[in-house]
Structure 1
Amino acid sequence: MQLGNEQRKARDSILWLNDWRQKSYQIYPSLKSSQIMQA
């Protein structure tokens, strides 16, 4: 039971990270391209 709980927490945080990353790319496309230009 506890193991399943830990796995669910890990999966939720991964989904949350992916969701945040997609939103940040939509909100800050200029930030991403400016980082590429600096490289």
Structure 2
Amino acid sequence: MNIVLQAFEDSPSIVDASGWVVLLASLLITVGWLWYLYR
């Protein structure tokens, strides 16, 4: 988490873009995993 915060201070725009990609990817993985478990 510290690495992310450090990178965010260095270049906010890049982390903002990649951060959204990671957030969406993790969200999709979480939803897919829950669907796989409870289908």
Q: Indicate whether the TM-score tops 0.5.
A: yes
Superposition pairs of residues 22-37 of structure 1, within 5 angstroms: 22-29=32-39
Residues 1-39 of structure 1, C-alpha deviation per residue, up to 9 Å, x if partnerless? 32111011110000000000110001011xxxxxxxxxx
Q: How do 1:1-39 residues align onto structure 2 when only pairs under 5 Å count? A: 1-29=11-39
Task: Name the SS of the counterpart of 1:5 in structure 2.
Answer: helix
Highest CA radius of gyration, 1 or 2? Answer: 1
Distance in 2, matches of 1:20 and 1:9, equals 16
Where in structure 2 are there 5+ consecutive unaligned residues? Answer: 1-10
TM-score, normalising length: structure 1: 0.65
Structure 1: 4+ residue segments shifted above 4 A: none
The two structures have a TM-score, normalised by structure 2, of 0.65
Root-mean-square deviation over aligned CA pairs: 0.8
Number of residue equivalences: 29
